[in-house]
Amino acid sequence: MRALQRPAALVPLVSRACARAAGGRARSSSGPSSAPSRPAIAAKHPYQVDLKAGTRYAWCACGHSKKQPFCDGAHKTAAPDLSPLRFQLDEAKSAWLCGCKHTKSPPYCDGTHMEEFIQKAELLEQP
């Protein structure tokens, strides 16, 4: 199995999705007493992608995008209190981006998808 590394050149542009995916706080759309949305499990595996240097990417943090692992704007209606993680790299590289949306190292897979709560979960219906 190929080892996963977090590149030092990752430049996070928005950290809200990162904090949310890591179990932290997120913006709430309906007041402080409502529970924040939890990301949907888009896949039970990571996506291998070739990332270009200097390109701005938006990793889907809500799990509702039809363009996994990237954002297609679906969070605006499906999970308005979750936002994509925007990032860019200084160097091009191949990476495994999280598809389960529960990684503690977004946007990268950290192996969380192997946990029972992911493997036994039902996936969203894809068109």
- Chain residues in the site for ligand FES (CB under 6 A): 45-46, 98-100, 102-103, 109-113
If the CB atoms of residues 20 and 113 are measured against ligand FES, the closer one turns out to be 113
If the CB atoms of residues 26 and 41 are measured against ligand FES, the closer one turns out to be 41
If the CB atoms of residues 28 and 44 are measured against ligand FES, the closer one turns out to be 44
Question: Closest separation between CB of residue 115 and ligand FES, Å?
Answer: 8
Question: Closest separation between CB of residue 73 and ligand FES, Å?
Answer: 21
With CA atoms as reference, report the closest residue to 20 among 89, 91, 84, 111: 84
Question: Closest separation between CB of residue 112 and ligand FES, Å?
Answer: 4
Question: Closest separation between CB of residue 26 and ligand FES, Å?
Answer: 18
Q: Any idea which residue has 């981006």 for tokens? A: 97
Q: Are 71 and 58 a contacting pair, CB within 8 Å?
A: yes
If the CB atoms of residues 64 and 102 are measured against ligand FES, the closer one turns out to be 102
Residues 6 or more apart whose Cβ sits within 8 Å of residue 70: 57, 58, 59, 60, 84
* 85: its two tokens: 């993680």
